[in-house]
Amino acid sequence: MWRYYVRRYKSVIIGAFIGISMVLLIIAGIRNQSVRDKNIASDTFAGKTMGTAVKKTFYSDSTAENEEINDRIDTCLRELEKQISVRVADSEVSKCNRNYAVGGSYGLSENIMEYLKKELEIWKETDGAFCPCIRPLTSLWGIEDGAEIVPLPEVIDMVKQNIDASNIELTETGIIFHKEEMAIDFGAAGKGIACDEIVKELKKTDIDGAVVSVGGSIAVYGSKGDLKDWHIGIRDPRKEEEDVMGVLKCTGNTMISTSGDYEKYFEKDGKRYHHIMDSFTGYPADNGLISVTIISDSGILSDALSTACFVMGLEDGMKYAKKKGVEAIFITKDKQVYITDGIKKNFNIKEDSYKLSK
C-alpha cells in the first residue's frame, strides 16, 4: 500500500524534500552569516606569572569586555601563583617545603591536592621520567637562579636520594614526606595548570574565544567568530622566540605545551646544560631531542607529558603519548620532526631546515 502512495505522490514528496532542504540551508546560512557579521573585538595583553611571560588575546563583543576579562585572568593567575609557585616565598607550596615534618601530614588546598594526585599518577606511569619533587636537583644546578653550576658526580648522587617520589604519600587533606630535604615543585606542570585555571575562568564569561600562552603552554578556547580553525605556531627550538618551525591547526578547547632545551640553559666547555632534568642520571636529559610538544584537552596533562616525553626520549616518549591518547610533535637534534597520526593533516612545517620523518 505504501508503495502505491509513494508512486502516486512522488513529485509531491520530492518537492517537499527539496523545500525542507532549502529552508535548512537558508537557516544555516543566516546563522553562519550572523556569526561572520558579528562585531568581534580582538585585544591582546601581556603579563608575567611564575617567572614566565604571559600573552593573552581575547575575542568578544567589545574592548571593554576584553579588558574586564583580562583583569579576571590576571587575578586568577595571581591567586594560583600564591598557591603553587616556589618563586613566591609565602606561597602554599613554599611554606610546605619549609615547614613539613617527616612522617607528619601537612595540609594543602583541595585543588593543589588534586594536581599532586595527577602528577604522582604520571610519575608512576613514566617510571619516574616525570618527577613532581625534582626541585632539590634543579636547585643544585642553579640554572634558574643564574648560578650555572656543573655539580660534582658525588654531589649529584647524594641529591638524587631526595627526589624519589615514592617517599611522598597523599592523605585526604594533605601530604606526608617520609624523608628529609625533599620538596615538591610544580615547575614541570605549573604552566599547564595555569592554562586549566584560565579556561575555568573563561567559561564563567560570555567571551567568544581566546588564546592564552603561559610560557611554553597555550590554551585555545572557543572561536574568533570567523568559523575558521585556530593556527598556532610551534617555536623553532634553534631560533628566537618569535620564529616558527611549524603551524598547528586546531579547534577551541585545545591545550598545547612544549618543552625544549632552549628555554633555560647555560653553556660550559662547549656543552649545553638545560633545565629539563633526568631524575635517573641527575643530569639534563640528553637523548637526541631538542623539543617535545603535546596537544590534548588538559593543560596539566599536556605540560607534564611534554616534560616526561622529553626525558623518555623519542621511542619511549612516542609510545607513551600514544598510550595516553594525546597528539605529539618530537624534534631531534638533526632537525627531524616526528608526529602522531592524529595531526598529520593539521600540522605543516614552515622552516625548510626541518624535515618530517615518515
Position 272 scores a pLDDT of 87
Residue 325 within any structural domain of the chain = yes
C-alpha cell at 116: 599532586
Residue 337 domain boundaries: 229-356
Residues 336, 249, single domain; the answer is yes
Question: Rounded to an integer, what distance in angstroms lies between the CA atom of residue 51 and that of residue 218?
Answer: 16
3-state SS assignment for residue 121: helix
Question: How many separate domains does the chain show?
Answer: 3
**Domain annotation covers residue 65:** no
pLDDT tier at 270 (50, 70, 90 boundaries)?
confident
| Same domain as 127, residue 237 | no
pLDDT digits (tens, 9 = 90+) for 275-291: 999 999 999 999 999 99
The SS3 of residue 9 is coil
User: CB neighbours of 237 closer than 8 A, spacing ≥ 6?
Assistant: 245, 260, 261, 262, 290, 291, 331
Does residue 267 carry a pLDDT above 50? yes
* 158 lies in the same domain as 248: no
Mean pLDDT of 103-129: 97
For the segment 205-213, the average pLDDT, to the nearest whole number, is 97
Query: In this structure, are 97 and 33 located in the same domain?
Result: no
Residues of the chain above pLDDT 70, percent: 89
Per-residue cell: 77: 593567575
Q: Which of 162, 177, 192 is the last residue of a domain?
A: 177
Residue 37 confidence class, pLDDT cut points 50, 70, 90? very low
Asked if 245 and 318 sit in the same domain, the reply is yes
What does pTM read for this prediction? 0.88
- Residue-level pLDDT at 21: 42
Indicate whether 237 and 298 sit together in one domain: yes
CA nearest 303: which of 228, 195, 208, 231? 195
Predicted local confidence at residue 11, as pLDDT: 54
Residues 169 and 234 in one domain: no
pLDDT in tens, 292-328: 999 999 999 999 999 999 999 999 999 999 999 999 9
**Does any domain span residue 155?**
yes
**pLDDT confidence of residue 131:** 97
250 and 349 inside one domain: yes
* Average pLDDT of every residue of the chain: 90
The answer to whether residues 92 and 29 belong to one domain is no
Do 234 and 348 reside in the same domain of the chain? Answer: yes
**Final residue of a domain: which of 177, 207, 237?**
177
Task: Say if residues 247 and 347 touch (Cβ distance below 8 Å).
Answer: yes
